[in-house]
Amino acid sequence: MSDVVERFMRYVQVDSQSNPKNLEVTPSTPAQHDMARLLGEELRALGCEDVVVDEHAYVTASVPASPGAEDAPALGLCAHLDSSSDAPGKNVKPHIVHYEGGDLVAGFANGRRVATTVEQVPDLAQFVGKDIICSDGTTLLSADDKAGVAEICALVARIQKNPSLPHPTLKIAFVPDEEIGHGAELLDLDRFGARWCYTVDGSALGEFNYECFSACQAQVIIRGVMVHPGSAKNVMVNAITLASEFGSLVPAYERPEHTEGREGFYHPISIEGTARKVTLSYILRDFDSENFELRQQTLQKIAAFMNARYGEGTVEVKIRQQYRNMAEHFADIPFLIDYALEANREVGIEPNIVAVRGGTDGAQLTFRGLPCPNIATGGYNLHSVREFIPVESLEVTVDLLEHLVAKFARVAA
């Protein structure tokens, strides 16, 4: 078992799910502290300098430059240590499947087979005869983003064994709560000290992202009027009924299940409450800044329409901004894109530039002044009990990172 695979298999067994209902605290779950402490210990064991594990579960460290590259600007590598709450994430039991074609069977849950078909993931056809890591089918695998964490740590381990491998000073960051929109929000960029950065996160090997959705979360609070149902006529206003009405007014053809490519969406993600009060949560996404603003206005207009009908204050929409499309920030630094594409080709991968239908820590870092495109990790079916990652993808990504950092060893300060 290669170093990166051994690390990945260990890391995914550490629970570190974030909690979207605990946005006021960072990290949103105590378990993320466990993952942060583990990574701090491992980075120290790998000879990193300036290792810090802070009170918010941010882990940072430095790798000294190779001989002759001491004056090159520092390069950051970032991954997130939390995993999604979209599927069970505790007690992950990773195992390696030697894939022989057909359905990729992760395991069994409640007596039912958990499998991925070639129709669902056509890339499976590339992996016939190869080893693939899956969960047992009862939990997600946590490749998003334990794969990125393992790949970065494996690169650091490789450099420790051979410090002459060309590289500038590397600044490592593992951050919490990316899955709930916080991510690198509290990373002290002055102390971090990188000139440029790459996140190592995301999907199929070869994908490269420097454009992403703009994103916000909308909380819709609907207040009803409760009286005894026996005397409710012309008095009761049922919040559950109004929640259904609100949902029906949001464009149905612009939900995630009906969109692709550069199309944005409205995505209802949770509902809770009673006939007296209901809270709906939506996430809004779009690549185009004007359309992104229009989506937010649409929810406010629906609220205004319903308030005019049922009384002011019946519906309230609160919007929290999450991240913005980072593409516009790379016009003057195209080498960050070019170097990543070259590194892919040097390890035999034809890169695929994808406008990612999601977000990365890189979007937030870029808008804070640290340009940060994204390198893929090789995972599939993220946020799902069918999540998997080929062993070869983990290993090739470490090679890719080695080629990438070498290019920055010769960049002038």
Residues annotated as catalytic (active site), given as ranges: 82, 178
Is 89 within 8 Å of 139 (Cβ atoms)?
A: yes
Packing angle of the helix pair 3-11, 143-161 (nearest 10 deg): 140
Helix 391-408 with 3-11: angle, nearest 10 deg: 110
- Alpha carbons within 13 angstroms on the beta-carbon side of residue 41 total 7
Specify the pairing of strand 374-375 against strand 207-209.
antiparallel
| Residue type present at position 35 | M
Q: Which of 105, 95, 58 is nearest to 78 (CA)?
A: 58
Fill in the amino acid letter for 88: P
Query: 370: burial class by Cβ within 10 Å (0-12, 13-18, 19+)?
Result: buried
- Return d(Cα 84, Cα 150) in angstroms, integer: 17
Three-state SS at 239: helix
Q: Are 389 and 373 in contact (CB under 8 A)?
A: no
What is the number of other CB atoms lying within 10 angstroms of the CB of residue 269?
Answer: 13
Calculate the CA 72 to chain-centre distance: 29
Instruction: Give dist(CA 93, CA 353) in Å, integer.
Output: 33
Q: Please, how many CA atoms are within 13 Å of residue 279, restricted to the half-sphere of its CB?
A: 7
Distance CA(105)–CA(236), nearest Å, equals: 51
Burial zone of 324 (CB within 10 Å; 0-12 exposed, 13-18 middle, 19+ buried): buried
**Residue 306 DSSP one-character state:** H
